[in-house]
Amino acid sequence: MLLRDFISASELSQLNTRSNWLATKLIIFNYLVIISAFTMLSIWPNPITFIVAISLIGARQLGLAILLHDCAHFALFSKPNLNNFIGHYICGSVVNQSVFQYREYHTKHHIHTGTANDPDLSLVAAYPVKANSLKRKLLRDITGITGVKFLVNDIRSFKATNLRWVVFHLLLLSLFIVIGQVWLYAVWWASTLFIYPLVARLRHIGEHGTVTQRGAKDVRLNTNTTIVPFWQRCLIAPNYVNYHTEHHLSPGIPPYRLAEMHKLLSERGFYDGQGCIRRGYGEVLKHAVVK
C-alpha cells in the first residue's frame, strides 16, 4: 500500500502546505476556550458550570499537548523555529513538556508503531481488556488517582526545563489574584487531575488501543481514526487529533488539513474492507473491551 496510489503528488503537496494563519487560529482558539470556561464559571458559579468548565479546560489542556505534538513534527507552522518556539513555550509550558524531548521520543513511536520498540506500546498493549478492568482504569482517571500519579512523576523528574511550567503557574495564579478570583486557580488543577488523564486515555485507546493488527506495517492495521460528532470534538478530540490514521500516513501534514485528507482517501476507497475507522468514542470503548 502506497499513499501515492490514492493521492497525487500535487494533492499531497497541497496537503503538506503549512499556514501560519491557520496555525495561529488554532492556538488562539484553544486559549479562548479556556478563558471562556473560566469566565463562565466566575459569572455563574454552580455545580453544572463547574463540571462544564473543567471538562472544557481539561480537553484544551490535551489540545495544547496535541499542538505541541504537531510542532514536534514541524507540521503546525511554516518555519522550524516557529514550531520550536510555539511548541516549547506557548504549548509546552502549559502541559509541562519540552518539544525537543518529545520530538526525540515521539519519532521512535512513528518508526516502530505497535512493535516492542514503540515507546508508547505500554499505553495500549493491554487492550482490549475485560469490562471491569476498563471501568477501573476510567474510575482511576475521573477520581484523580491517575492525575496525582502523573503529578508526582512530574515533580520527581523536575529539571531546569520545567521552570517554564512553574512560570506559567505563577502567572496564572497572579492573574486570578489580580482579578479577585483566586479560587479559579483550583479549577485549573481540577481539570488537570480529573479530566486531562481521562481524555488522554480515550485518545490513546482510540489511536492504537483497538487496532486490527498491532505491529503490522500497514498503517490501516496498526492505527485507527475516529469520526466524531461536534461534542466529542469539544470534549475529547480537539485539534483534529481523531484523524490518526491519516497522521501516521504522512506525519508532516498539518492538523488543519487532516479532515481534507480523510475525505479524499474515503472517496477513493482507501479504507474499504479495513477496520481502522471508528464512529465515535462509544464505539472505541466497545472495541476496547474483550468480547
Instruction: Give the span between the Cα atoms of 207 and 148, in whole angstroms.
Output: 24
> pLDDT tens digit string along 226-241?
999 999 999 999 999 9
| pLDDT value, residue 171 | 97
Q: Give, for 225, the enclosing helix (H) or strand (E).
A: strand 225-227
- Residue 3's pLDDT band, with cuts at 50, 70 and 90, is confident
Enumerate the β-bridge partners of residue 279.
227
> What is the value of pTM for the model shown?
0.94
Closest C-alpha among 150, 180, 184 to residue 165: 150
| pLDDT value, residue 4 | 83
| pLDDT value, residue 159 | 83
| pLDDT value, residue 282 | 96
Instruction: Give the span between the Cα atoms of 240 and 244, in whole angstroms.
Output: 8
Q: Output the 3-class SS for 249-278.
A: HCCCCCHHHHHHHHHHHHHCCCCCCCCCEE
Q: Is the pLDDT of residue 2 over 80?
A: no
Instruction: Give the span between the Cα atoms of 240 and 271, in whole angstroms.
Output: 18
> pLDDT tens digit string along 63-72?
999 999 999 9
Mean pLDDT of 33-45: 98
Q: Is the pLDDT of residue 193 over 90?
A: yes
Cβ atoms < 10 Å from Cβ of 235: 21
54 contacts: CB under 8 Å, gap ≥ 6: 37, 187, 190, 191, 194, 195
Closest C-alpha among 212, 16, 230, 2 to residue 113: 212
Average pLDDT, the chain: 96
Q: Is the pLDDT of residue 1 over 70?
A: no
| pLDDT value, residue 35 | 98
DSSP state of 114: T
Q: What is the percentage of the chain residues whose pLDDT exceeds 90?
A: 95
> pLDDT tens digit string along 131-184?
999 999 999 999 999 999 999 998 898 887 789 999 999 999 999 999 999 999
Instruction: Give the span between the Cα atoms of 206 and 195, in whole angstroms.
Output: 17
| pLDDT value, residue 124 | 95
Mean pLDDT of 199-221: 95
> pLDDT tens digit string along 243-270?
999 999 999 999 999 999 999 999 999 9
Cβ atoms < 10 Å from Cβ of 25: 12
Set of cell numbers at residue 72: 514536534
**Does residue 227 sit in helix, strand or coil?**
strand
| pLDDT value, residue 242 | 97
- Residue 291's pLDDT band, with cuts at 50, 70 and 90, is confident
| pLDDT value, residue 5 | 85
User: Measuring CA to CA, how many Å separate 122 from each of 3, 145, 171, 202?
Assistant: 28, 18, 35, 15
| pLDDT value, residue 157 | 87
Crossing angle between the packed helical segments 196-204 and 131-142, to the nearest 10 degrees = 150
Instruction: Give the span between the Cα atoms of 145 and 270, in whole angstroms.
Output: 41
> pLDDT tens digit string along 268-280?
999 999 999 999 9
